[in-house]
Amino acid sequence: MTTATTTTISQHVFYGDDGDPETSISLSVIENMKEEYGLFVWPCSVILAEYVWQHRSRFRGSTILELGAGTSLPGLVAAKVGANVTLTDDSSKAEVLENMTRVCELNNLNCNVMGLTWGVWDATIFDLRPNIILGADVLYDSTAFDDLFATVSFLLQNAPDAVFITTYHNRSGHHLIEFLMVKWGLKCVKLVDGFSFLPSRKASLLSGNIQLVEIVLSSGKSAE
């Protein structure tokens, strides 16, 4: 049995002040859709990438780690505005990791690409000390929630002033993420509607109840 494969390259534009093309950026993303999974740009990724772009002065010069990066749009934006970016996805997903490398090359961006499986404590994770951790639509599989939050908690303990910024579909209310934060010693310092800052030209193409949340250690410093 053969598996249908469709590979496309999508363009993603982030507009400068008043839509000025001279202060805008464009990124190309390789999307590879197969019958058994889709490696494509999800709405949560578009919203998180836009957030990074609109707060680019905060990200410029920072050390960024993207979890479950997939097509990596938020991390690519961070790299484009001058951050030191490491893109990660499950260590078993060789094809996804290879695609991440190709996307970086396509956009002439020098990002680190590495396998990082949530809840697995191999040597590489101990050396990671990001200022900002990104995760777009990483709260989709409830069986992986504890592994994800264990990993985030570990990374934040390694860098206590760091923050985890994630976008997610609010399918069952904020109480679930609140429960996980309490369980893993974390707290929310910012919660916004993902569509509240999204340009209308992008919002019209997306749907869903998407939230953006910033999370820190309970004993850590609040994000501004």
Tokens of 87: 């893109």
Strand arrangement, sheet containing 132-136: 112-115, 84-89, 63-67, 132-136, 163-169, 210-217, 186-193
Q: What is the pLDDT of residue 219?
A: 77
Sign of CA dihedral 161, 81, 44, 191: positive
Q: What is the pLDDT of residue 223?
A: 41
Q: What is the pLDDT of residue 224?
A: 42
Q: What is the pLDDT of residue 126?
A: 92
- Residue at 101: amino acid letter: T
pLDDT along the chain (224 residues), means of 10: 71 84 89 69 96 97 96 97 97 92 97 96 92 94 92 94 94 77 94 95 92 89 42
Q: What is the pLDDT of residue 23?
A: 85
| DSSP letters spanning 21-73 | GGG-EEEEEEEEEESS-EES--HHHHHHHHHHHHTHHHHTT-EEEEES-TT-H
Please give the Cα distance from 192 to 213 (Å, whole number).
7
